[in-house]
Amino acid sequence: DAGVIQSPRHEVTEMGQEVTLRCKPISGHDYLFWYRQTMMRGLELLIYFNNNVPIDDSGMPEDRFSAKMPNASFSTLKIQPSEPRDSAVYFCASSTRGRGWSEAFFGQGTRLTVV
Amino acid sequence: AQSVSQHNHHVILSEAASLELGCNYSYGGTVNLFWYVQYPGQHLQLLLKYFSGDPLVKGIKGFEAEFIKSKFSFNLRKPSVQWSDTAEYFCAVIGYSSASKIIFGSGTRLSIRP
């Protein structure tokens, strides 16, 4: 398996524009997590899905952020409109829970810069 | 609610020194515990994990961690660090219920002087 795949790796956009980040989890994993990492706040859990259903979105900072998982192999995190304070590295991770939790496998991340 | 505390924000050591990074968690049930490492500019990678059994867990690159249930701790150790261990280290916990989520500590930045 190629691991968790995120795209794009880098995104530079102007304030007010819509940004869409994409994630392909590891095949067979039924949990998907979106994290945001900044120097100030560290690693924050934004939202997570189980079997494509959002379970907890309490970490989503504002209504400008939305996430979807239309099927087991794809998820998006959208920011509309984007603001400079959204600049961060966004990580997607996937895991599974069979007889016990697996660890979370992380993608390479998307470095977002909003100017 | 789950939470994870890493008390050391930045640790500076010389090569060959011993390392211990603290991690305490809060959760009222069975937990799974992890340590991840993030090298500069890279994503998080698993160092080691504890699910059950022997509370002393050995991971990659000579790292180990000890789960002490009575202290809600899962400290990371390495007897002799190398310059290549310079990275950020994250402790993480997940409760055993199906509604749990993986929660990360704030991270500890480790700098090794050559």
The enclosing H or E element of A90 equals strand A88-95
Handedness of CA B104, B49, B36, A110 (dihedral sign): negative
Percentage of chain A beyond pLDDT 70 is: 96
The chain-wide mean pLDDT, for chain B, equals: 92
The chain-wide mean pLDDT, for chain A, equals: 93
Checking if the pLDDT of A104 tops 80, the result is yes
Tell me if B43 and A50 make a contact (CB, 8 A cut-off): no
pLDDT at A1: 64
Kindly state whether A91 is in contact with chain B, defined as any CB-CB distance less than 8 angstroms: yes
Among A95, A101, A108, beta carbon nearest to B43:
A108
CB pairs under 8 A between A and B: 52
Q: Please compute the mean of the pLDDT values over residues A85-113 and round it to a whole number.
A: 90
Among B34, B90, B101, beta carbon nearest to A48:
B101
Mutate to test the interface with B, among A48, A55, A103 (most CBs of B within 10 A): A103
Q: Partners of A56 in the beta sheet?
A: A48
Q: Please compute the mean of the pLDDT values over residues A73-101 and round it to a whole number.
A: 92
CA distance linking residue B5 with residue B23, whole number of Å:
6
Confidence of residue A82 (pLDDT cuts 50, 70, 90): very high
pLDDT at A60: 95
- Tokens in use for B91? 């402790």
Among B43, B46, B96, beta carbon nearest to A91:
B43
Tell me if B46 and A103 make a contact (CB, 8 A cut-off): yes
Residues contacting A53, CB < 8 A, separation 6+: A69
pLDDT at A37: 94
Residues of B in contact with A111 (CB under 8 A): none
Q: Searching chain A, which residue's CA lies closest to the CA of residue B50?
A: A103
Nearest CA to CA, how far is B89 from chain A (Å)?
A: 11
- Tokens in use for A25? 């989890």
Q: Searching chain A, which residue's CA lies closest to the CA of residue B39?
A: A108
CA distance linking residue A101 with residue B95, whole number of Å:
9
pLDDT at A17: 97
Tell me if B43 and A48 make a contact (CB, 8 A cut-off): no
Q: What is the pLDDT of residues B57-100, one digit of tens each?
A: 999 999 999 999 999 999 999 999 999 999 999 999 988 775 67
pLDDT at B65: 98
